[in-house]
């Protein structure tokens, strides 16, 4: 891998991580609003700190398990109705996508239906660790997707590990 190719790959990785990290920060910001107002800043700091740590740990873990993510777990053979193969990566992304849709639908429902009720009755804030737990779960999904995208950009995962880190 020449120096120009390394610089170009590093630039793409930085841009990719910035784009993929934005939705993570947006989620942390929105979810932290469910905590008590005086603890929201701490929840955001915990969420971001855990997100950074989780990405580093997941990078090491995924590099060592890369073969397991590529092998097919099961197929859907219903020709003409639904067809496809699933591996560990697709299942984790599917579960994360369903969770994101659930969270978005819950927030939209809350804004449409509960907003009028909230103007007369104050909503009880969620427990801080409950909010942090939801943030950690979504960080895992976002980190997983982000790291697999980074792995897909490099030629030799084991050799170019330093570039992803």
Copy the structure tokens of residue 165.
């880190």
What is the per-residue pLDDT across 35-63, written as a single tens digit (0 to 9) for each?
898 999 999 999 888 888 888 888 788 77
* Regions of the chain where pLDDT drops below 50: 120
Position 100 scores a pLDDT of: 76
The confidence score (pLDDT) of residue 155 equals 57
Which helix H or strand E contains 73, and what residues bound it?
A: strand 72-78
20-29 long-range contacts (CB < 8 A, ≥24 apart) are 20/142, 20/145, 20/146, 20/149, 21/142, 21/146, 23/142, 24/51, 24/138, 24/139, 24/142, 24/143, 24/146, 27/103, 27/135, 27/138, 27/142, 28/135, 28/139
User: pLDDT tens digit string along 139-150?
Assistant: 887 777 777 777
pLDDT for 123 equals: 64
The whole-angstrom separation of Cα 147 and Cα 55 is: 7
Q: What is the pLDDT of residue 157?
A: 53
- pLDDT, residue 16, reads 80
């Amino acid at each position: 891998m020449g120096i120009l190719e390394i610089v170009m790959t590093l630039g793409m990785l930085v841009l990719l991580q910035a784009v993929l990290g934005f939705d993570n920060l947006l989620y942390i910001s929105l979810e932290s609003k469910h905590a008590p107002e005086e603890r929201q800043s701490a929840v955001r700091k915990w969420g971001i700190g855990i997100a950074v740590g989780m990405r580093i740990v997941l990078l090491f873990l995924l590099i060592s398990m890369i073969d397991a993510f590529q092998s097919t777990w099961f197929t859907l053979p219903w020709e003409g109705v639904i067809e496809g193969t699933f591996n560990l990566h697709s299942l984790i992304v599917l579960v994360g996508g369903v969770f994101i849709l659930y969270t978005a639908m819950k927030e939209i429902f809350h804004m449409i239906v509960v907003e009028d009720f909230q103007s007369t009755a104050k909503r009880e804030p969620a427990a801080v660790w409950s909010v942090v737990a939801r943030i950690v779960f979504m960080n895992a999904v976002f980190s997983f997707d982000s790291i697999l995208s980074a792995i897909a950009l490099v030629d030799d995962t084991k050799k170019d590990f330093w570039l992803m880190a």
